[in-house]
Structure 1
């Protein structure tokens, strides 16, 4: 069907776009017609609507990302632009291994259909890693939900339950362990939960596959093969859905934009994909391999062709469709799950089809599933545009230069600094006592044990896990069988800081990440990011976004790779998620989230956070900043309170990191934990109770020096950074000497005790004693009570 863009006035064009459920602007629709020199078909408009969406084109964010984020370093094999970033990992028995990481979001779908939205989020991100030729060894899931005690608390908790159910359903069925995550509850997420997902894989460097038509297609004919489920309506308009404010009144209508996951078919596809990859490796055949995400067949084929420098021609009649009457534009652009595309030499196409259709009989597992040749690669002709042609039988649906589709449009959005809320220096403590405050924080939704939320995740399938999620500040796995080399992973982001200072929100995410990695003895190697913000068309929101990205970039350059002087900490992959706000204009707090990864030479030297032996000294390592802005304490007392957030001294931070790493390498450390959310006393609590919340050794503390500098509550609950380190008594002097050599403040604040209490001396309000049993009860009871369906 031709859409008469040139003849329609604005009202008529607006109506035509609405009938097609397209979200492109009138100017964008007219630009399509101008670029191709004629009125477009409805399939062409749908394709451009998808490929020019914020989700696919990064039309608002691309300039900012390129300007601020470092993406190159000596350990980077592939950076942004591929389905997953890849860094060098280790050489084992003469073979060089690499780590592939992808980071995505599935926010809007998870708000509308939490189980399906979260499950397909996991499904999509693991496909990104599989397509690089890697074996997926784990996923991580930073999650953000609404205020459980707020006006929409019941719905927020239902979303939390169902999101974790969807993640577990897909990951467990696929046989992929969950390696970590975090959860934040805040009223800003009442209307827009955030479901960010990370997938991690391992691949030999000589077996990496690219998501593009290979250059060998210049020398011989290449086919495009579509693999997986038959194409249906599911996920139609998903990219556009993710690129607009979420209208809850129309939420039911948007359910069709949420894909439907099938982890069991995916598991069979993974096995079949491995067989196909192995066949290509044995035959030394150059191939391209890419998953079908937003935009479906049209998106994957145009991106693969353009990335390789080719054109392409497809026929939808050759594809497996769920129904014969599936509209052309749906068949072309639907985001049906569990599908992949291959670019292979025509001479081997039948062998690839045989693997899927006969050896693994995909059609017997799911009706209509299988592999089919649906098109051919077009070689570039000198002086001629590289064409993208999509037909259905004899009817031509799309006939445009491929670069017009993939280049997209670019916007330089206006920005305006947000008017800051008045800052107040004095937090209204109101005669609070330290002991009661610790119990209150430990039992809050912000700091309680999350085990009840995550206990249905499988963290140990594949038998690679060295330190389970929650046992330390970062999870730790051994990616290569037979090697002691470890990969540490963490996900971090603090909206309480970003709400006050968007720039420091980006900085703090990176800083927390590298601290967490150091806590298990890992040197930070790279990060990925997922940048969650409101509507970029609003100048204040776009200012928040650019400030957050600038903060991430500055922190990555300032910290760098400690094992490679001069290299920044590279950002190797990521995602931008805009329009996280409701149709009423209520936006989330700026929410940049990073995944940090680091390498441990020998996992046997890594330590968890659990205290080990009575009598061992406990040190607070690092500088002390008494600022309480953005802290959990301030949020619990008064969510509207604003004050300066802790500053970061990068040189001091790097010295602290080197000291912590030296403590691991030297075998001096018995337990390590960074001082993050909840401050020093919460960190001590977590070290004493351990990941399982069981009673362990207590701690006797003396905070006299810290109290003198910042007062009781900054000393106990400030989140200005630093580390707590339990050191074996025989290595005490070596640890102190190492800190002095690095110029790092090393303050002995206590010792591990046999009695199950935390005692705190040196407070202005007098000594405090808190029983571990009471702390355990406070931390353990909250999440089961919140998630109880009976109470909900």
Structure 2
């Protein structure tokens, strides 16, 4: 077979190891199975050794990595299942369907744990918004997410959207889903004994998505049109029927284990299920309900058609399952059974078309320790001398930042999502974190007295400049956002989006970022319970190689006791505004949006997070909110302090008078994105209470000014006015900029 293995995404060495293991050459179908399951997308062969650095255990953890989603305990009645995954490559090729099926896939990951999906979030990265191709991708992706989530009836309650040139041909579409489980009723992708049957339920199987896993594990070139058939096509209305059918199946106790069909289709789902069960599996492909005539065994096994689930069931439950499938207008058929010999076998009309050891498909995929080295650009960006920057007009800089696509309002995006369907959304998009109430729609007695908070964060630019410190920075910000609404963290799920790991510079970014994230998670005592790795986000065009910024995306899930929370917005005229946190270090402008937008530079080092002070700040915020000392809280992040203050004003009709006494350069004071800083507001009679408590725990405070009744921003430096602006004019610029660009 002269280099035929390349068609299946395998290397020569991988192919030779397969031949040696089998003692023969694999056939066309077997090569398809191994190519898909050994792909980077399915096997994590470049990252598996590094992922072991993450802490995965904790007092709330019920299920850590290794299943379709992580599960944590909220309280004695309710468990939470959640995960984030990428659908990056498909969303460049076919933005609408790529994004839509990303949402559908992550819903089924959570559903397969026996959970009812109740909330979605998304993290998006695109090229610059004035580029015509980028506009097409942005509109398609947002429309795809809104179409699927809105139609299936699950609210999209938060997320983030950033624009950088490096994502021009490799947009990132990361989708998160949260589901709820009655305590003790979690399912796994497991059979419990040989002879149990595999029941395929949901949509019929077509030719969409074949080669999807292999495609998602490769670099891009200018020719993407040929890959269009690799992108799946979803039907959210079918998914809604599948959700309700599976909830009924679980209520009636008809199922032993559940596995969703995602990458590598039926071949992937059945082999992974068999491996986790320490069993074998036999499939009868002629029984699979098809939507297209003439499909061959290869196509049936590797189709990634959407809205399908594989159930492990006892024989005496099959008839009832078929009745329920019919009731919900779904396909439902027994397509295989579990065996005790550890082999994967597939038959088609009596002919054996594939026979492989399950362990070869799953556990024996190669694990690489790829070479890594620090990129040359690191020394260059760190040689940047901030003191040599030309001083710019503060007002002009502020206006440029407010209209920057990374700072301005993302309402154009999230207003297309139904974020209140289901009536569980307590805090809508636009703040530091989303907040949900918990109620079980089937069993009204299953509800929680706690609120759930979700924060989604990623900062590829910071990780690009310093992957280790950038990894810490992202974790700290995700947890700080939870603290800003009063939530204690339960766990994290992550999606690691990086370039081509076969390039040593990219491998170094991946390794250092994971080490930074892992060190921060260990310090904060917050486990990583699920996630995804998306590599090969690279485009080769003629002589240009474009890798994305190293972009780890985190969703932190937290709980609010007693349902007491605050938002980021100022509430009362006359209330006092303070900055609290780690304020005595000299803050730089490294990696800031100000540096990029105003000076056209991406450079500097990442402000190192003092993890001890960061954790103190989180604990302090939670206590201040619980004891009703502060009225609002908002962390300083993209755009810096001045942007954070304005975000606290926008939508309130209020104004702010700042009275500053600082020797620091004003651009650094206003626009640095240094961590561990939060803007809080407090009633006048609680000012001393706030200051005393912040000092007592070893943190710093700085009085900034007072909230005004008129929508004016007045800034004084040593009593001298240096800026006076109408807040409504600033808000209009901030609110309209993205829509005007797109």
1:522 paired residue number? 487
Per the alignment, residue 702 of structure 1 pairs with 659
In 2, the alpha carbon distance for the partners of 1:182 and 1:614 equals 30
Q: For the residues of structure 1 that align with 2:694 and 2:186, how far apart are their CA atoms?
A: 42
Q: 1:72 to 1:137 in 2, by over 3 A?
A: same
Instruction: Confirm whether residue 782 of structure 1 aligns to residue 741 of structure 2.
Output: no
- Alignment partner, residue 566 of structure 1: none
Match in the other structure for 2:723: 768
**SS in structure 1 opposite 2:540?**
coil
- Matched residue, 2:107: 126
Task: Please point out which of 21, 28, 39 is paired with 1:35.
Answer: 21
Q: How far apart are the structure 2 equivalents of 1:476 and 1:633?
A: 30
How many Å apart are 1:453 and its aligned residue? 1.8
SS at match of 2:539: coil
Query: Which residue of structure 2 aligns with residue 443 of structure 1?
Result: 403
Q: Does 1:393 align with 2:363?
A: no
Post-superposition offset of 1:429: 4.8
| Displacement after TM superposition at 1:733 (Å) | 2.0
8 A contact 2:486–2:621 mirrored in 1? yes
The Cα shift of 1:602 comes to 2.5
Residue 356 (1) aligns with residue 325 (2): yes
Query: Counterpart of 1:612 in 2: which secondary structure?
Result: coil
Q: CA deviation at 1:405?
A: 0.6
| 2:665 aligned residue | 711
Distance 1:427 1:28 in 2: 53
Post-superposition offset of 1:409: 1.4
Q: CA deviation at 1:410?
A: 1.1
CA distance in 2: counterparts of 1:49 and 1:583, whole angstroms: 22
1:492-503 matches, cutoff 5 A:
492-503=457-468
Pick which of 623-632 and 179-188 moved more. 623-632
Question: What TM-score, normalized to structure 1?
Answer: 0.90
Contact 1:493–1:505 (CA<8 Å) still a contact in 2?
no
Residue 424 of structure 2 corresponds to residue 455 of structure 1: no
Displacement of 1:428 after TM fit?
6.0
1:670 aligns with 2:624: no
**Closer, same or farther in 2 for the Cα pair 1:662/1:238, shift >3 Å?**
same
Q: How far 1:78 moved relative to its partner?
A: 0.3
Partner of 1:367: none
Tell me which residue corresponds to 2:60: 75
Spell out, residue by residue over 1:526-579, the C-alpha distance to the aligned partner (whole angstroms, 9 max, x if none): 11110000110111100000111111101111222xxxxxxxx10010000000
Contact 2:457 2:474 in 1 (8 A): yes
1:302-451 aligned within 5 A: 302-357=271-326, 359-362=327-330, 370-380=331-341, 386-407=342-363, 408-419=365-376, 420=378, 421-422=380-381, 423-426=383-386, 429-451=389-411
The 3 A distance-change label for structure 1 pair 639 and 76 is: farther
Please give the per-residue CA displacement for 1:470-519, whole angstroms capped at 9, x wherever unaligned.
1x200000123654411110111111211211112211110110110001
Q: Distance in 1 between matches of 2:163 and 2:417?
A: 20
* Separation in 1, partners of 2:513, 2:338: 41
**Counterpart Cα distance in 1 of 2:78 and 2:214:** 37
2:141 aligns with: 163
Q: Which residue of 2 aligns with 1:724?
A: 679
Contact 1:681 1:716 in 2 (8 A): yes
- Residue in structure 2 matched with residue 741 of structure 1 by the alignment: 696
CA distance in 2, matches of 1:429, 1:441: 17
Q: Structure 2 CA distance, aligned partners of 1:81 and 1:248?
A: 35
Partners of 2:137 and 2:483 lie apart in 1 by 33
Q: Are residues 1:570 and 2:527 paired? A: yes
Contact 2:116 2:243 in 1 (8 A): no
Aligned length: 726
Q: CA 1:612 to 1:517, structure 2 compared with 1: closer, same or farther past 3 Å?
A: same
2:707 to 743, 748, 752: 752
Which blocks of at least 5 consecutive residues in structure 1 are unaligned? 1-7, 363-369, 381-385, 561-568, 788-792
- State how far apart, in whole Å, the 1-side matches of 2:23 and 2:88 are: 37
- Going from structure 1 to structure 2, the CA distance change for 1:765 and 1:387 (only over 3 Å counts) comes to farther
Decide whether aligned partners of structure 1 residues 202 and 427 sit closer, same or farther in structure 2, where only a CA change above 3 A counts.
Answer: farther
Superposition deviation, residue 148 in structure 1: 2.0
Task: Please tell me the root mean square deviation across aligned C-alpha atoms, in Å.
Answer: 1.5
Structure 1 contact 127–291 (Cα < 8 Å) conserved: yes
Q: Note if contact 1:60-1:536 (Cα within 8 Å) is conserved in structure 2.
A: yes
Work out whether residues 452 and 784 of structure 1, in 8 Å CA contact, stay in contact via their aligned partners in 2. yes
- Contact 1:138–1:199 (CA under 8 A) maintained in structure 2: yes
User: Following the alignment from structure 2 to structure 1, what is the Cα–Cα distance between the partners of residues 449 and 265?
Assistant: 40
Tell me, what secondary structure is at the counterpart of 1:473?
A: coil
> CA shift at 1:361, angstroms?
2.8
- How far, CA to CA, are the matches of 2:558 and 2:222 in structure 1? 40
Q: 2:79 maps to which residue?
A: 98
After TM superposition, the structure 1 stretch with the greater mean CA deviation from structure 2, 165-174 or 27-36, is 27-36
Distance 2:562 2:385 in 1: 46
Q: Does 1:84 align with 2:35?
A: no
Counterpart of 1:383 in structure 2 is: none
Cα pair distance change 1:110/1:222, threshold 3 Å: same
Mapped pair 1:238 → 2:249: no
Q: Distance between the aligned counterparts of 1:201 and 1:412, measured in 2?
A: 35
Residue equivalent to 2:537:
580
Please list the CA deviations of residues 601-620 of structure 1 after superposition, one character each: whole Å capped at 9, or x if unmatched: 122x2111111111111110
The residue aligned with 2:45 is 59
Residues 146-190 of structure 1 show CA distances to partners (whole Å, capped at 9, x for unaligned) of 0124xxx11112111110000000000000001101011000001
- Structure 1 329/769 Cα, relative in aligned 2: closer, same or farther at 3 Å? same
Tell me the residue number matched to 2:197.
223
Indicate the residue corresponding to 2:173 in structure 1: 195
Q: Which residue of 1 aligns with 2:36?
A: 50
Q: Is the 8 A contact 2:157 2:419 kept in 1?
A: yes
Q: Are 1:59 and 1:409, in contact at CA under 8 Å, matched by a contact in 2?
A: yes
1:208-240: CA deviation from partner (whole Å, max 9, x where unpaired): 111121x2x25xx31011112221110000000
Q: Which moved more, 1:49-58 or 1:772-781?
A: 772-781
Provide the secondary structure at the position in 1 that maps to 2:439. Answer: coil
Find the aligned partners of 1:166 and 1:99 in 2 and give their Cα distance. 26
2:593 maps to which residue? Answer: 632
Contact 1:424 1:641 in 2 (8 A): no
In structure 2, how many angstroms separate the alpha carbons of the residues matched to 1:479 and 1:548?
34
> Which residue of 2 is the match for residue 598 of structure 1?
558
Q: What is the match of residue 257 of structure 1? A: 230
Q: 1:570 to 1:498 in 2, by over 3 A?
A: same
Q: CA offsets, 1:647-673, max 9 Å, x none?
A: 211111111111111111011111110
Q: Measure, in 2, the Cα distance between the counterparts of 1:159 and 1:634.
A: 27
Distance 1:209 1:483 in 2: 21
Q: Is the 8 A contact 2:78 2:448 kept in 1?
A: no
In 2, the alpha carbon distance for the partners of 1:352 and 1:428 equals: 71
Q: 764-773 or 723-732, which moves further after superposition? A: 764-773
